[in-house]
Amino acid sequence: MIRHQEPYIFLGLWLWLAIFNVLGGKDYTWPTYFHAIAAVAVTQLPGLLFAYFRVRLKTTLSSRKYNGYWGLCFLICLPAITFGTALSVADNNDAMFLAVGGMSSFVLEIILNVNSFYQQKVQHKKWVQKLGLESSVLITLVLIALTLSAMAISSMDNPTYHTKERQLIGFEFNFLKIITHCWTFLSIFAQFLVMYLCGYLFFYINSRFLVSKVLKQKGLVIYILSLLATIVFFYPMAAQVILWLPINKIFGGEIFSSNPFIAENAFAALAIMLLSLPIVLSLQWAKQNTTIVSLEKEKSRTELNLLKQQLNPHFFFNTLNNLYALSITKSEKTSESILQLSELMRYTIYKGQEETVTLSQELKYIDDYIQLQQIRLQKPLNFSFTKEISNDEQVLPPLLLIVFIENAFKHGIEPAEREAFLKLHIKCDAQSLNFSCQNSFEDENIGKPAGIGLENLRKRLMLLYPNRHALTIESQNHIFKAELTINLA
């Protein structure tokens, strides 16, 4: 559902247009409804199909090609189909309805693109994050007060709105009048702002104190009682302030009764607080949910760091044991092994602390590790490593695949008395990574613990690729096989 949210929204627009088409006629039946759906399908299919394939197009095409396909769909195909169909219809009402349907689809696409731009480019700006609900409402009220003040000045001396008995506010904007009556404009703006701030007071108290503290900590009953107490405490004073404003008697008669204590004033305050309650609750939930997600990410990051700290010493001790074995035998390969060990440890210490490395870097590390292990082995090793890689610059977490090979050497190859084998295979493309490791083991090693390597790997995969990986481990007929598949899309 979430993955196909945009096609779902376009489908909703399609059905709303069909319902409006039904309501515009006289036959309110299901066949008429399905006929209306088929009628507006031609204007809705381009947007619906593009929304369905949008994610695939963005991931597989360059920005230039994607924009080209978008323009072809919404700037060429949609207008051509819409107006071509509208012109072919004999009834003017049906033609107008088809044109409105095509325009609605285009407007919806623009809204979705603006929302996407906001979420990607604007939402994470510091000034946006600091702009809370109260600030947004306050800015909106200031803009409304400015707009009404400009319309009020523009309506002055216009017989349509301004008579001896009353003055109404018309939908007019005359910037010359606003400039010439600047002080009157500022006076009206200040009075409108005071009027809206009286209502904003109830919203602010409800948002900042009653919902966030009383409702959350004391429950619904105490919240309702506190709400009523707040209204009865403030509404007579707020009503009296508004009654003192000159605009109360200028624009369209008295907005409030001359009595500040009448029940209508209390109902107005109650309406403000109740209408704002769902919005406040939604934002409180969103804020709490964001906090929970942040804590979960921090917890995951901490667990990953702990797992890496466990993994590095594990490899360190294994390689030191290898070097110790070579020094005892005074092998000529000791110096070469020390050099290779230093390269491996450099990768482990520096690259191992990064979030991601390229696949080529990880594979080189694996090749160096296997070469170091083969130097110190006393018995021959039947080894093969097949690779099917479309892009070796694909990124993945460091030290992820080496765990299988460490486990194979430690529990299968090193203790073996006969010739052992190790077969590795990796296949990687833009969509997925598949890695398999097969190694021989002997009977006496059955049931021995595999150490912390594989257990740490399981935990890292759960944190790094939740619901996006599959790890299978099996052992039979003296063969231990581990296979890992990761969804990289």
Contact 325, 359 (CB under 8 A): no
Distance between CA atoms of residues 18 and 472, nearest Å? 51
Residue 361's CB is within 10 A of a number of other CB atoms, namely 18
- pLDDT, residue 313, reads 57
pLDDT at 306 (0 to 100): 53
Give the CA angle between residues 165, 171, 172 to the nearest 5°.
95
Do the Cβ atoms of 387 and 426 come closer than 8 Å? yes
- The answer to whether 147 and 159 have CB atoms below 8 angstroms apart is no
Cα–Cα–Cα angle for 60, 65, 69, rounded to 5 degrees: 100
pLDDT digits (tens, 9 = 90+) for 31-73: 889 988 998 898 899 999 999 998 888 877 788 888 999 999 9
Residue with tokens 């480019």: 121
Q: How many helices (H) and strands (E) does the chain have?
A: 18, 7
Q: Of 373, 446, 381, 385, which is closest to residue 418 (Cα–Cα)?
A: 381
Query: How confident is the model at residue 314, as a pLDDT?
Result: 52
Helix (H, G, I), strand (E, B) or coil at 488: coil
* Rounded Cα–Cα distance for residues 73 and 222 (Å): 56
Domain residue limits, the chain: 5-126, 131-261, 295-487
Nearest Cα neighbor of 340 from 307, 312, 374, 309 is: 374
CA dihedral (328, 329, 335, 340) positive or negative:
negative
Q: Splitting the chain (489 residues) into consecutive groups of 10 residues, what average pLDDT does each group show? A: 77 92 83 89 91 84 88 92 85 85 92 84 62 75 87 80 69 83 89 89 87 82 88 88 79 59 82 83 73 65 56 59 70 72 77 83 89 75 90 86 86 82 91 91 58 75 85 87 89
Looking at residue 447, its pLDDT comes to: 46
pLDDT given for residue 449 in this prediction: 45
Q: Read off the amino acid at residue 236.
A: P
What is the pLDDT, as a whole number, of residue 305? 61
Q: What local confidence, expressed as pLDDT, does residue 294 receive?
A: 65
Element of type H or E holding 424: strand 420-428
Domain 295-487: which CATH class? alpha beta
